[in-house]
Amino acid sequence: MPSQAALLIASFLVTVLVCAKPLGKLLAAMIHDQAFVGCGAIEKGLFGLCGIRRNAMNGYHYLAAILVFNLLGFLFLFIILLSQAWLPFNPQHLPGLSWDLALNTAISFVTNTNWQAYAGETTISYFSSMVGLTVQNFLSAATGIAILFALVRGFIWREQTHLGNAWRDLLRITLFLLLPLSLLSALFFISQGVVQSLHSYVDYTSLEGVKQSLPLGPVASLESIKLLGTNGGGFFNANSAHPFENPNFLTNFVQMVLIFLIPAALCFAFGDVVKDKRQGNALLWAMSLMFIVAVVVVMYAELKGNPSLTLAGGDSAFNWEGKESRFGLLASSLYTVVTTAASCGAVVAMHDSLTALGGLVPLWLMQIGEVVFGGAGSGLYGMLINVILAVFIAGLMIGRTPEYLGKKIGPHEMKMAALYILITPLLVLAGTALALMTEAGRAGISNPGPHGFTEVLYALSSAANNNGSAFGGLSANTPFWNLLLGLVMLLGRFLPFIPLLIIAGRLVKRNIQPRSAGTLPTHGALFVGLLIGTVLLTGALTFIPSLALGPVAEHLQLLTQSAAGSH
């Protein structure tokens, strides 16, 4: 079993890195605000058609454009969900969503969270899925990548007052990156048996004589961008555990690769644009090492099983509860780590059925900001904030002004970095406290004790970090939970943009300083270790007390029960 696990992890990471490296070249051109080879005339025509000028934007103008763009997307989707009963492509005649569920869902997809407090096949029409949810999957992913572009330009451009043009970035990312990749992956999924249909559901009688309905729909087109854009919302309630979304082991492997593809490619692109590939490689090393450790822990925990449930010989049984038997325990564990490390939220296993320690890892991966590859754009800009913290800590140790890539990191940038780090923990912990203090919040908890606390903590961590996966035991489709999680998703997505663009706007005005004997190398093994330590330290200081009340307490409780049963 260990050799199988090692082979699976190694083959996955090698495939991701091999596919991501050439894609990094395309992304590097976009960061430089250059047209991709052969697309200059097409871009010029599209920009003219859309009325997009080459006017450059400073950080505040860039932020305003992003916020207006997403506000319009939210209103458009909210109206579609409320009125889907009167819109076309609704062969099942599904009614419009309630106002609170429509609000929650619209916020969820606009913020790249894709939290789903509903069963897709019985709630969302084909029109809402295609024109509403799928479109927002593209646009929310483009938003995160555009914000990253602005931040990276702050490091690589010198003595400028602008960060590019948000409208040009959004259009270029959507049409020349996300759309072609999504089309290719959708065709692959269709070839493997993923459903893509506008026909109504098919009624049939099973061999046992039970009348059932076979759900259909435009699944493959949603599936491709939900993975590439690290969105995560599935067409079916079972998400990627449903055979119509994920038919076989090959599609399961490809899905995991697609989730990591753009985050890994952005690291390669970063190395290209700063003209030092070692910088991008250092970030990849830090992400990969943390990812491998997380996968090993989850696999070990699930193979070890529940200590209070043992086989006749006294050995613990594998924890098969909630796993997709078509893919096996190892692949299900790998998918669990991939989707929570990458801010995706697509699932092939029931996270609520993980062992206490197995469930702690995906929860913690979200709580550290999903910087282990992370979401499309959001993973790398989160890691760059940790880089700023790491060089500041190193600067304190050696008594020098911190700098990164030749740009001095001043007190104002450090304040903004600290603010960025504090936003999501504040939302998670305050939201968890509010839910546990109110009757409406506690009403959704189906499991008392530490596990119920973990369900609540997981839901708020998922919402604040825009992941979208859940511990399924929490009944969250109520006005209280829809409004609470909607607000947390909204603030968790857009509040961090403010310090990010302030940092970018200040850095872009500075010149790049030449390296000196006292310059801290930020590409070697020592810095990789420092960066990993910074990520672990910020996560530990913030969330260890809450984790002790949830998964750690549950694990100790199971050990106590196991010891009592053995006597």
pLDDT number for residue 308: 67
pLDDT number for residue 151: 96
Span 308-322, mean pLDDT? 63
pLDDT number for residue 313: 47
pLDDT number for residue 312: 45
Lowest model confidence (mean pLDDT) among 5-14, 278-287, 324-333, 517-526: 517-526
* 448-479: pLDDT as tens digits: 888 899 999 999 999 999 999 988 788 888 99
Taking residue 385's Cβ as centre, other Cβ atoms within 10 Å add up to 26
pLDDT number for residue 38: 67
Residue 567 pLDDT more than 60?
A: no
Residue 561 pLDDT level (bands cut at 50, 70, 90) = low
* 415-450: pLDDT as tens digits: 999 999 999 999 999 999 999 999 999 988 888 888
d(CA 346, CA 317): 27
Residue 178 pLDDT more than 60?
A: yes
Residue 17 pLDDT level (bands cut at 50, 70, 90) = very high
Is 319 strand, coil or helix? coil
HSE toward the beta carbon, residue 291, CA cutoff 13 A? 29
Q: Which helix (H) or strand (E) holds 403?
A: strand 403-404
Span 297-313, mean pLDDT? 75
* 111-145: pLDDT as tens digits: 999 999 898 889 999 999 999 999 999 999 999 99
Tell me which residue of 493, 362, 408 sits closest to 71, measured CA to CA.
493
Q: 380 CB contacts (<8 Å, ≥6 apart)?
A: 148, 263, 266, 267, 270, 283, 374
Residue 51 pLDDT more than 60?
A: yes
Q: 30 CB contacts (<8 Å, ≥6 apart)?
A: 36, 149, 169, 172, 173, 176, 177
Q: Which helix (H) or strand (E) holds 408?
A: strand 407-408
pLDDT number for residue 566: 54
Taking residue 277's Cβ as centre, other Cβ atoms within 10 Å add up to 15
pLDDT above 70 covers a percentage of the chain that reads 96
pLDDT number for residue 333: 93
Q: Where are the beta strands (DSSP E) in 107-220?
A: 202-205, 211-214
pLDDT number for residue 314: 45
* 196-205: pLDDT as tens digits: 999 999 888 8
Query: Using alpha carbons only, how large is the chain's radius of gyration in Å?
Result: 23
* 490-511: pLDDT as tens digits: 999 999 999 999 999 999 999 8
Tell me which residue of 253, 256, 232, 243 sits closest to 469, measured CA to CA.
232
Q: Report DSSP state, residue 515.
A: P
* 343-357: pLDDT as tens digits: 898 999 988 888 888
Residue 334 pLDDT more than 60?
A: yes
Span 298-324, mean pLDDT? 73
pLDDT number for residue 37: 65
Residue 315 pLDDT more than 70?
A: no
pLDDT number for residue 42: 79
* 18-43: pLDDT as tens digits: 999 999 999 999 998 877 666 777 77
